[in-house]
Structure formats: C-alpha cells, structure tokens
Amino acid sequence: MVWFREVEYLRGFAALAVIAVHVSMNFNRIPEVNLLALVNVFVYVAAHFAVPVFVFISGWVLAARYFGDYSLWEFYRRRAKTILLPYLFFTALYLMVTVEGTIGFAGVPAPGRVVEALLLGTAAYHLWFFVLIIQLYLVFPLIARGYDRFDRGGAALFLLLALLFVQILWNAGAHLAGAFAGTEWYTVLIRLFPSHLLYFVLGIHAARHTERCGSALRSLPAAWVITAAGAGALLIGSMWASAVLRYGSISGATLAVFCIYRILEPFYYVPAIAALVLAAWRLEERGGRPAGALRSFGEHSYGIYLVHPLFIAAVAGLWASLTGLSWADWETYPAVFAAAVLASYTVVRVLSGVPYAGWLLGGSRVRRRPLQ
C-alpha cells in the first residue's frame, strides 16, 4: 500500500478540531447569551469540519489499500479488529462514567440503555462517529465498486456532484423528519452513512486519482482556497451565532435555519479539506518541530479521539476546584483545551508502547512515504 504522510497531518488537524468542538460546546452552560457564548458558538460550528475530514481520510486510505482483487474476509477482519473492540470497550466505559461538563460516575446502565448506546453511539457525545464509520466500512466494497464503474465511464465527477445533492437532501430531510415525525427520526437518520457519503467518496476519488487531484489543487492559488474555506467558516459560524442570539440556543433555532445550514455545510467542508491538504504540504516541505508534533498527534489521533472527553471533563473539574472558574469564564476554554490536548496525547502515546494496548486505542498510524 502507498501511504501518504499528508494523511497524518490531516488526522492531526481533525483531532485538534474535535477537541475544540467538545470544549466550545460547553457554551450552553453559560447562564446567558453573551459575547463568550457567541464566540464559542462560532468555534463550535466552524470546527465541525473535523468529522468530514476523518471520513474523507477513511475513504482515501481504504481506497489506496484495497483496489482490484482483494479478500473480503481479510478486509472485514481487519476493519473489525480496528474498530469493534475499542467501540465496545469505550461504550461500556462511558456508560458508567459521565463526561458532561465534569467527570462523574453514572452507575450501572439498564439493558435497554446499553442496546441504545451500541446501536446509536449515545454512550458519550463523540461515539456516534463510530456508528457512522462502521457503516461506511461495511459498504465500502460496494461503494468502491460503484465508484470504479462510474470512473471507467468518465463520470466520476458527475457522481460526486450527484452525491452532493443526495447528501444535502438527506441531511435536510433528517431535520424535517425530526420536526414532523419525532426527534428520534433525526437521531437515527443523521447517523446513517448517506449523511457523510460525499466526503467518503471524495476520499476514494483522491486515492484513485492522486496525481491528478494533487496537480489540480496545486494549480489553484492557495489564497483562493484559504479564502473559500475561511468565508465558509465565517458564514456558517456567524449564521449560528446570530441564531443563538435570536433564539437563545442552537436547539431553539427554526427548521429553516437547520435546513439552510445543511445546504451550506458541504460548500464549507470541501474547501476546508482542500485548505488542510495545502497546509499539510507546507508543513511537510518545511519540516521542523511544529510539523513533527502535528504529525505525531495525527498518528495517535484514533486513541486521542476515544479518550479526550475523559480529560476535558476531568480537567474542567480540576480547573474549577483550583481556580473557582467555570464554563462561564473566558479563561476556562483555552486552559481546558490546551490541557486536554496535552493530556490526551501524552496518555495515548505512553499507552501505545504497552503490549496489546493498541487493541483498545487503535495503535499509531505508521508513516510510509509522502505523496509525490
């Protein structure tokens, strides 16, 4: 398999964004809508490119590894080894340990709660991603085969454009179903793989046409790509900050706001992915400690994703006891973010050297060679 070092940087960016999302989401613990709340709403929404980046990477890496004839048994065996045991273990852990705001013990869950958590990834706020990625792993052989058929017919870009519309309709439809048929419909539909299928197939496309995609991206002025991504972040972040200012919370926004957001989000996330690839190239060319640190963070991003809510909650509790400051104070957010990043990385890196710890934390991503 050809391995692209750019992937490690992208994982690093995405892991940092995930932690930023899960720190900033505590704006809902601020008693009133003030400037601090609005700033964190903006960060919370703008950093949501993290999951699309992870999904894009998954499509890219799988398509680079599995092409042509390969054993389906071996494919599913490797995917199960990578994801099932960590998902089961951390679902059990987060069912008993609460990480909402501060850390605490939740007690022994009821059987119904266990089943719900396994099916929907609701044991903790971040585990829904595993429900999504398991589905994408299951259908990857079919998706890749379908993509290759379109690609051989010269219609790969048409497929991507069609998926853009399908994904927008699916996600907007999830909000409509939640509004008119019950919130449980939204909870289920937004976790099904069509909600992120565009980014997954875009990753497959990048793997199948690496040189062509790289040349096309390099031909664009970097300022244009960065401006497009920045404008998308500014538009979506400002839209939600305005909605919170108007309605008092994200959940209180009208159905129209949610649907407009679902229409706009791909036009932010795709340029954001392109901008991060450019940043990865620049870091790889320059090297140095910042590049090495981000690459190492990306190598351990799987384990960091799994454990970081524990450290956010634990650090928040410790911070409050030492300083008397809460989520309603400006200092809390950067302090908790920095401490959670450092603690998550340190613990995962140390544990990566422990025999069999990789079965639970996914192990580190091994570096091979850069994209030419």
Segment (H or E) for 189: helix 183-189
Altogether, the residues listed in the chain come to a count of 372
- In eight-state DSSP terms, residue 33 is -
Residues 357, 87, 124, 337: is their CA dihedral positive or negative? positive
H helix and E strand count, the chain? 16, 2
Residues 93, 293, 338, 43: is their CA dihedral positive or negative? negative
Mean pLDDT (the chain, rounded): 94
Give percent above pLDDT 90 in the chain. Answer: 89
CB distance 11 to 5 below 8 Å: no
The pLDDT-based confidence of 365 (bands split at 50, 70, 90) is low
CA distance linking residue 55 with residue 128, whole number of Å? 13
| pTM for this model (two decimals) | 0.95
CB distance 174 to 189 below 8 Å: yes
Residue pLDDT, tens place only, 26-67: 999 999 999 999 999 999 999 999 999 999 999 999 999 998
Measured between alpha carbons, how far is residue 253 from residues 66, 239, 241 in Å? 43, 11, 11
pLDDT of residue 1: 46
The pLDDT-based confidence of 368 (bands split at 50, 70, 90) is very low
pLDDT of residue 107: 85
Residue pLDDT, tens place only, 290-317: 999 999 999 999 999 999 999 999 999 9
Of the two residues 313 and 101, the one the predictor is more confident about is 313
Q: What share of the chain is helix, strand, coil (3-state, %, to 5)?
A: 80, 0, 20
CA distance linking residue 229 with residue 236, whole number of Å? 11
| Phi and psi angles of residue 325, each rounded to the nearest 5 degrees, phi first | -95, 150
What is the DSSP track for 82-122?
A: HHHHHHHHHHHHHHHEE-SSS-EE--PPPHHHHHHHHHH--
